[in-house]
Amino acid sequence: MLIDLRLHLITLVAVFLALAVGIAVGSTFLAGSSVERQVARGLEREFGKLRKENETQKAAISEITERLKQTSEFGDIAVPVIVQGRLSHRRMAIIQTGDYPEAVQNAVSALEYAGAQVVSITTISNIESADFNDRVLQAAKNISGGKAKDPQSVILKAVAESIALSPDEGYMGMLEQKGIISRSGFYLRRAGSIVLVGGSKEGGSRRTNLLLVEKLKAAGATNIVGVEQCDAAVSYIVDYQREGISTVDHIDLPMGQVSLVFAMSGEAGNYGVRRSADRLLPAYLESAEWQKTFR
């Protein structure tokens, strides 16, 4: 609705400009004539109507914007209340393959509101890019001892195992030095619950995502959920779904943050606002059991 109103406003402005040009051109050919005066009066009336409609549309846009702001503010207040304690004392790790850093922060906030401990955040560069070929190959050889038929697979296996299976054997530091990953947190204890943060502004890394989920499962990750923002230019959600993991495509909205927490607590599903989603929110939030909580 908001986008439609903006487009309409732009159209009105274009009409105003066209009318102004028409008046200027018309006055050149009809100067001093009664036809000119009639045309001018008609254009003035139309211009007045359009100006009034423009003001009405601007007021409507302003009202909708304010309502959206209020809804967002309410959501920010409600999320901690809804998810409180649902993930208490759970160790979780975040792995980002996309390039929306705010999506990571939204995921971290939701998990921490629910009582989870986010032990590490790892960002994997676009290792499918030609710019990384040499670094990826050399890193893979270092990890595998000289053999690297599939360098990307070798690297993602090392990352998955360092996070979900056993303490880091030094591979993460080497990968960080080569610019293949960036990281923060602790890698000395396994984290079996993983949030994958995807979505890209320009290019995708489809194979990276598919391989990463595969390697995490093989490393023993017990719960993997893929998330991204609802406005991500390049979405990884469908790829996540093909690997059979739960997804949240609106992590930038309070509804998405709630959905992530419930997905991590066992409410599997594909949540969001896109066609690939099955539901907007977990079914449990509509159950009688949940509603009793607020009576």
3-state secondary structure the chain: CHHHHHHHHHHHHHHHHHHHHHHHHHHHHHCCCHHHHHHHHHHHHHHHHHHHHHHHHHHHHHHHHHHHHHHHHHHHHHHHHHHCCCCCCCEEEEEECCCCHHHHHHHHHHHHHCCCEEEEEEEECCCCCHHHHHHHHHHHHHHHCCCCCCHHHHHHHHHHHHHHCCCCCCHHHHHHHCCCEEEEECCCCCCCEEEEECCECCCCCHHHHHHHHHHHHHCCCCEEEEECCCCCCECCHHHHHHCCCEEECCCCCHHHHHHHHHHHCCCCCEECCCCCCCECCCHHHHCHHHHHCCC
Q: What is the pLDDT of residue 1?
A: 46
Query: Which position has the token pair 């159209």?
Result: 11
Ordered per-residue pLDDT tens for the chain, 295 residues: 444 555 555 665 565 555 555 655 555 555 556 766 777 777 778 778 888 888 888 878 877 777 766 667 767 888 999 999 999 999 999 999 999 999 999 999 999 999 999 999 999 998 888 888 899 999 999 998 888 789 999 999 999 999 998 777 789 999 999 999 999 998 888 898 999 999 998 876 788 999 999 999 999 999 999 999 999 999 999 999 999 999 999 999 999 999 999 999 999 999 999 999 999 999 888 776 766 665 6
User: Which of 117, 115, 109, 120 lies closest to 87, judged by CA?
Assistant: 115
Q: What is the pLDDT of residue 289?
A: 72
Query: Which position has the token pair 């959501």?
Result: 75
CA distance 24 to 197: 56
Q: What is the pLDDT of residue 279?
A: 94
CA distance 97 to 209: 7
Q: What is the pLDDT of residue 275?
A: 93
Give the number of C-alpha atoms closer than 13 A to the C-alpha of residue 177, restricted to the C-beta side. 8
How do the domains of the chain map onto residue ranges?
2-79, 86-292
Cβ burial, residue 28 (10 Å; 0-12/13-18/19+) = exposed
- On whether the 86-292 domain is CATH 3.10.590, my answer is no
Q: What is the pLDDT of residue 16?
A: 59
Q: What is the pLDDT of residue 148?
A: 79
The number of residues in the chain equals 295
Q: What is the pLDDT of residue 295?
A: 60
